[in-house]
Amino acid sequence: MTSEQITAAASGTFRLGDLAVNRIGFGAMRLTQYGQALTPDAVPMERARAITVLRRAVELGVNHIDTAAFYFSSLRSANELINHALAPYPDDLVIATKVGPARDPSGAWLPPAVPGQLRGQVEENLRHLGRDHLDVVNLRVSGPGPIAEYFGALADLRQAGLIRHLGLSGVGPDQLAEAQAIAPVVCVQNSYGIGVRPEQDDFVRACGEQGVAFVPFFAIAAAGREAGASGADSDAVTGIALELGISAAQVRLAWTLHRGPHVLAIPGTGNPDHLVANVAAGALRLSREHLAALDAVHGAPTPRGSRHVVKPPHREGGRPQDADAVR
């Protein structure tokens, strides 16, 4: 089977509340521009290219798209692109967005929203996506400390029918527990990957024990963050990539999914070929030896119940290039 024939269903499924999603999804952060995301001077991506990528993602079985109103360049808005490309939306498509951060029309960052401003941000997402409710809204937290007032404001909007499910981003265990006491939390989005914040390993496992999806961002980009993958990978990552005939980005995605059945991936790209490779990574099963080598780089033991090697996706021609950053 070629990479082009592998769909997101090969990654398995997990539920966000009552919504089943394939564990390989798509992040929209990199869809609006070339180069570094979330910068005022980013070069906008061609509209037709971005729309092609979105439609191809759905053709490949992606039914979980992560976006935000602050994902935009001077000419492109991720939410508007999603609306244009995919509406009327497939019944099984889950669109998750986030609130808290904000940028002004020039692209400069504004102070994080206060609780009273969150409804306006939710309504902005609704308008741009063309929806009457949002499937999942993540509260993006800007640091440690209490979040009850903020999360409570979103819980009220859930009660009003504007939001179906709630999640959190950039949080720790105490903040998750604080939110769970107010309303159910279906997912946590934090920065995480090989060598990225290994101190979160216990939290990742705890989320699974509570039935909460863990959705890492920057799983490919790592320290590159908004700038994307640097191409400077460890010997373990590059060695496994060469052995299996895949890219370093696919190795990173496969390792991410091995962290537990509740771990979802949202790799983002504006490159159609990288999109195919990202989705194909969901079919990879790494061996114990591969996982041990990668865990040594990460700095943590292999979780119990990790999957083992079967057969890597077949590739046509030369070794595929690394996919873009995960968000």
Residue type, 42: A
Options 71, 89, 150, 192, the catalytic residue: 71
How many Å apart are CA 101 and CA 112, to the nearest integer? Answer: 5
Q: Which residues does 1 contact at the CB level (< 8 Å), separation at least 6?
A: 313, 314
**3-state SS track over 263-283:** ECECECCCCHHHHHHHHHHHH
Q: Any idea what the Cα angle at residue 206 is, between residues 284 and 296, rounded to 5°?
A: 50
Is 192 a residue of the active site?
no
Q: In 31-184, where do the E strands start and end?
A: 33-34, 43-44, 64-66, 94-99, 134-140, 163-169
Nearest to 256 by CA among 315, 169, 327, 321: 327
CB neighbour burial string for 76-90, b if at least 16 within 10 angstroms, e if fewer: bbbbbbbbebbeebe
Contacting residues for 177 by C-beta, under 8 A, at least 6 apart: none
Q: Which one-letter DSSP state was computed for residue 231?
A: S
Q: Coil, strand, or helix at residue 228?
A: coil
DSSP 8-class letter at 239: H
Measure the CA–CA gap between 23 and 62, rounded to whole angstroms. Answer: 9
Residues marked active site are found at 71
